[in-house]
Amino acid sequence: MKILVCISHVPDTTSKINFTDGDSKFDTSGVQFVINPNDEFGLTRAMWFKEKQGASVDVVNVGGPETEPTLRKALAIGADSAIRVNTPAVDGYQVAKELAKVVKDGGYDLVIAGRESIDYNGAMVPGMLAELTDANFVTNCINLEVDGTSATAIREIDGGKETVSTALPLVIGGQKGLVEESDLRIPNMRGIMMARKKPLNVVEATSAETETSSVKFEKPVSKGAVTLVDANNLDELVNLLHNEAKVI
């Protein structure tokens, strides 16, 4: 079984976010980038298929050279090879088109993508990728088993879970629960050294058209100052809740 894991290069959630050029561009200065958490769950599940069923695992990213350290980390975790599509990731449709060519050229049986990336939270790419490659699709996936050319997946739905059976080729949108957080892997020194020798292939983009563009970014409104009230001064607390917070 050939598995392709889609890797998004996203800012660490602890990073301080700023914008430049009149708030039209994201400022990457001083920002640490990581593997998108939903993709990391998928990569860990792919490692399970590699170890238990002898699957081969490639990882892919659409982006510039700055994304290669993230791909190298995925190689250090255990992926066999990496592919970088040499173009900035502008919108979901463009990314899906570029990934679709990689999937078709590689003849992959299973494509594991994160349900969404934590930077734009679009949740578009996996579904569009499935459509473009004529593959079956399961999103919000929290469990996946593969037996030959058949797959059984569990996905979250409103108010519960649903078990579905389908056939390969398959694209899934994975999320937390696909593996336990305790199963996520931290690259060790041996993995890091081996990753340096694994292939990281750069392929040129297909010049897929973009359908959207970012016009302006805006930070959330800053939280107001906190007023501390002595635990014994209930009258003041009631007054503030009634006259300032207006919640009673």
* pLDDT per position as a tens digit, 221-243: 887 788 888 988 888 989 988 88
48-66 pLDDT, tens digit per residue, is: 999 999 999 999 999 999 9
| Number of compact structural domains in the chain | 1
CATH value at residue 214: 3.40.50.620
Q: Which domain holds residue 60?
A: 2-219
* Other CB atoms within 10 Å distance of the CB of residue 61: 27
Q: Cα–Cα distance between 164 and 152 in angstroms, integer?
A: 6
The model's confidence at residue 13, banded by pLDDT at 50, 70 and 90, is confident
Q: Which residue has the higher pLDDT, 213 or 167?
A: 167
| pLDDT at residue 131 in the model | 96
Residue 14 placed within a domain: yes
- Range with the poorest average pLDDT among 34-43, 99-108, 209-218: 209-218
Q: How far lies 168's CA from each of 83, 103, 116, 147, in Å?
A: 22, 13, 22, 10
pTM > 0.95: yes or no: no
What is the arithmetic mean of pLDDT over 109-124? 91
| pLDDT at residue 16 in the model | 86
Residue 7 placed within a domain: yes
Query: With 80 as the cut, is the pLDDT of residue 247 above it?
Result: yes
Residue 98 placed within a domain: yes
| pLDDT at residue 24 in the model | 86
Residue 240 placed within a domain: no
Mean pLDDT for the chain? Answer: 92
Residue 28 placed within a domain: yes
The model's confidence at residue 83, banded by pLDDT at 50, 70 and 90, is very high
Strand, coil or helix: 10: strand
Residue 232 placed within a domain: no
Residue 235 placed within a domain: no
| pLDDT at residue 144 in the model | 96
| pLDDT at residue 52 in the model | 94
Strand, coil or helix: 108: coil
Residue 165 placed within a domain: yes
Q: Cα–Cα distance between 147 and 61 in angstroms, integer?
A: 27
Degrees (nearest 5) of the Cα angle 17, 224, 240? 165
Helix segments in the chain, DSSP class H: 37-53, 68-77, 92-106, 125-133, 189-195, 234-243
